[in-house]
Amino acid sequence: MSRQIRSIRGMHDILPEQSGAWQWLEARVRDTLAAYGYQEIRLPILEQTELFARSIGEVTDIVEKEMYTFEDRNGDSLTLRPEGTAGCVRAGVEHGLLHNQQQRLWYAGPMFRHERPQKGRYRQFHQVGVEAFGLEGPDIDAELILVTARLWRRLGLDNLRLEINSLGSPEARASYRQLLVDYLSGHAEALDEEARQRLHTNPLRILDSKNPALREIIAGAPSLLDHLDQASREHFQQLQALLRAAGVEFTVNPRLVRGLDYYCRTVFEWITEDLGAQGTVCAGGRYDGLVAQLGGRPTPAAGFAMGVERLLSLLETRGGLPGLHPPHVYLVMAAEGALETGVQLAEALRDALPGLRLQMHCGGGGFKAQLRRADRSGADWALILGESELAAGGVGLKPLRQAGEQETLQRDALVARLARCLEISPSPHDAKESPVCP
């Protein structure tokens, strides 16, 4: 036997038993975003490497250590997207969607980072990203946070807390950076290897360090919030007032800095204690400089992305996820000429009952073996085309999950019965999963 090929470490298949939960979550995300007027944009997974280096920042973990970068056959350096904001801005500039316009956009799909895989941290993971362009006030920051708060309510999640901070203007941040470097240089001997490296490349990230040995030094560092420019301070205060008015609870965390360089002013994260170390399920902020940095006209912007795997894990801890979508009915055909009648019947039923999940038996075999398959499929009913049903011009209907006799129905009566039992709704997402037929 040849050697079996396995999936790449940190990149997972989403199996049929899981995909129902993904679809369930995606449908709720889509509806919630539509309720606020956001439109979907679909973006390529591969971009030019320079796009990420210029936006996320040359001295970030993502660009320095985590990107899947390769040369294609033309010798161009390409990268599997590690996040979606850069590509969304690139597309917005390229198609003239941003200048003097307001856009509310979202995208969903796989992202790639060569991180050390562990629970909640993968090399291929999925984000839903949301970006708003052309709006500079704190109102849009508040709206973005309200979208997420509504989504958590819809999903029944009450174990998420919101942390917010302001990074100020790039100028204010640059002078704060110098203050921070001066302060940390005074404690250089106590810093760990990583912090020492970051001291001259990305000192703000030291504030984010998880090393308990640095806790005290970090606690004593000057706070960015005390060094905000006036406009950023007002922006941040207005955002807090809006969140209070909307009844969204939050804490201000002056050490929240984010790992991507494009942010300014508002940054925020939704965090849970229920997923261990990878507790941030959604994060984002304002990035007013990025559009111009990528060749567009200066355009204010803000957004966030949520990690779909982390959200699903969180939902799983709550036991709130739907599983498989078994067929409603399984069609058994065991008689001479039954297959032709069966194929035609199955198509007619699917025409008559949108939303019906009908699985047709394939592969032949005797009546008993087919019924066993019907049972294993998880269907609520078997439809049966045997000799006697064919002779009577009808179809057998046999309940598989509850007591009751098999009966033979004519086709019209069968359609009416199934429609009543299944309460088939035009929207497949809202269809009843386990109808009980009286």
What residues form the annotated binding site for L-histidine?
83-85, 113, 127, 131, 258, 262-263
DSSP state of 62: I
What whole-number distance in Å separates Cα of residue 346 and Cα of residue 335? 16
Supply the DSSP symbol for 231. H
Q: How far is the CB of 269 from ligand HAM (least distance, A)?
A: 7
* Contact status, residue 251 vs residue 162, Cβ threshold 8 Å: yes
Binds ligand HAM by CB under 6 A, chosen from 280, 293, 377, 408 = 280
Q: Per rule CB under 6 A, is residue 83 in the interface with ligand HAM?
A: yes
Residue in the block written with tokens 């599983």:
323
Helices and strands, counts by H and E, the chain: 15, 16
Measured CA to CA, the distance from residue 426 to residue 438 in angstroms comes to 22
Those residues with Cβ within 8 angstroms of residue 17's Cβ, 6 or more apart along the chain or in another chain: 323, 324
Q: How wide is the angle at C-alpha 408 spanned by C-alphas 402 and 414, nearest 5°? A: 80
Work out how close the CB of 239 gets to ligand HAM at its nearest, in angstroms, rounded to a whole number. 15
Q: Of all helices (H) and strands (E), which one includes residue 385? A: strand 381-386
Exactly one of 52, 125, 330, 381 binds ligand HAM (CB under 6 A); that residue is 125
Smallest gap from Cβ 412 to ligand HAM, in A, equals 52
> For residue 127, which phi and psi values (nearest 5 degrees)?
-120, 150
* From 38, 107, 122, 152, residue interacting with ligand HAM (rule: CB under 6 A): 122
Give the one residue of 307, 342, 355, 394 binding ligand HAM; rule: CB under 6 A. Answer: 307
Restricted to residues 146-185, the positions that interact with ligand HAM (CB under 6 A) are: none
305 binds ligand HAM (CB under 6 A): yes
Per DSSP, 9 falls in state: T
CB of residue 398 to ligand HAM, shortest distance in Å: 45
For ligand HAM, which residue of 85, 165, 169, 202 counts as binding (CB under 6 A)? 85
Q: How far is the CB of 24 from ligand HAM (least distance, A)?
A: 18
Total site size for ligand HAM, rule CB under 6 A: 26
For the chain, state the CA radius of gyration.
28
Binding site listing:
83-85, 113, 127, 131, 258, 262-263
Q: Give contact residues for ligand HAM (rule: CB under 6 A).
A: 83-85, 113, 115, 121-122, 125, 127, 129, 131, 260, 280-285, 287, 303-307, 309-310
